[in-house]
Amino acid sequence: MSSAKPTYHPAIFGLAVFATVWAFVLLITGAMVTAHSASLAFLDWPKANGQWIPSHLSGQEVDQYAHRAVAAVLALSAFVLAALLWVKKERPSVRWFGVLALGCVVAQAVLGGETVLQFLHYWLPVWHAIFAQLMLGALLAVAVLSSKWWVSERPQLEDRGSPSILALAWLNAGVIFLQSFLGAGFRHNDMPIWPHTAVAIAVLATVVWTAVALRKRFGNSPELTKMRMMLHSVFGVQFLLGLGAYWAYMKNTDAVEPTASMLLLTVTHTAVGALLFAVALGTVLCAYRLVPKKAAMAVSSDERVAVP
């Protein structure tokens, strides 16, 4: 195994954290666009009513233009981040996650533009929402992999259970991602509510399964204990928000304009759903860093486990 010590670059880590947080802000503004039915506030793209900076904005145009402005800042941040990762010759895993993040941002922009130009047809709003989750996940990975915590010495933990904690964490993240896809389909009126509701039960099962495994096998690990607590708490909030959002939706089915409570609940439900996916991916990354595969446990105690 490699004995070279990876270098920590504060500037790269800081930019990665900013981009990750900013991607979450972008998700919130996108949820507001959907909640306000403002996707077609402008019928052109990338300009807005033929202008890069409109002289006047009103009503739904404010939501749509704010979403585009936030997206522009994120695109620039992702480009600079990807460039820095290559200039600084970061580890291959970090560099390629940076490229993936930039690719997702570009795909997001193209899908967002096509969503407008194609008048919300062809499931484009759903794919636009899904690539937002992938973009958030890739940026989160860059932030974690470029952190001082990741490159510093960490105690390696032995996983004595089956299936492995890494497999459970991946399963949990995958089911939550599927739930996000189905939720986007329902929000954009491309599928009924029942698939989203059914998979919510599966999310409950995988979150509990993963959390129980974390408690039983790694109860003495501060990092994995924190991830377990975050999984429980964020899922609990998300579950309650889902009930509230559906109640508000049913109550306002015939309303001409969405009520303030419906807007608040649906936007918050979407945002916390993205946060739950981020926590699930964070659990995967923590497990990958702290719990080596069983083959790696055969390394002698005087050898250092390589940092990916």
Asked whether the beta carbons of 170 and 283 are under 8 A apart, the reply is no
Of 281, 299, 284, the C-alpha closest to 165 is: 284
In angstroms, rounded to a whole number, what is the distance separating the alpha carbons of residues 43 and 45? 7
Which positions ≥6 away from 283 have C-beta within 8 Å? 169, 172, 173, 210, 214, 224, 227, 228, 231
- pLDDT given at position 297: 52
Backbone φ and ψ of 7, nearest 5°: -95, 140
pLDDT digits (tens, 9 = 90+) for 21-31: 999 999 999 99
Bridge partners of residue 48, in order along the sequence? 51
- pLDDT given at position 27: 94
Percent of the chain with pLDDT over 70: 92
- pLDDT given at position 190: 87
Q: Which residue reads 């989203």 in tokens?
A: 196
- Range with the poorest average pLDDT among 134-138, 192-196, 235-239: 192-196
Average pLDDT of the segment spanning 127-131: 92
pTM: 0.89
Bridge partners of residue 51, in order along the sequence? 48
Asked whether the beta carbons of 23 and 135 are under 8 A apart, the reply is yes
pLDDT digits (tens, 9 = 90+) for 168-182: 999 999 999 999 999
Confidence category of residue 294, pLDDT binned at 50, 70, 90: low
Mean pLDDT of the residues in the chain: 88
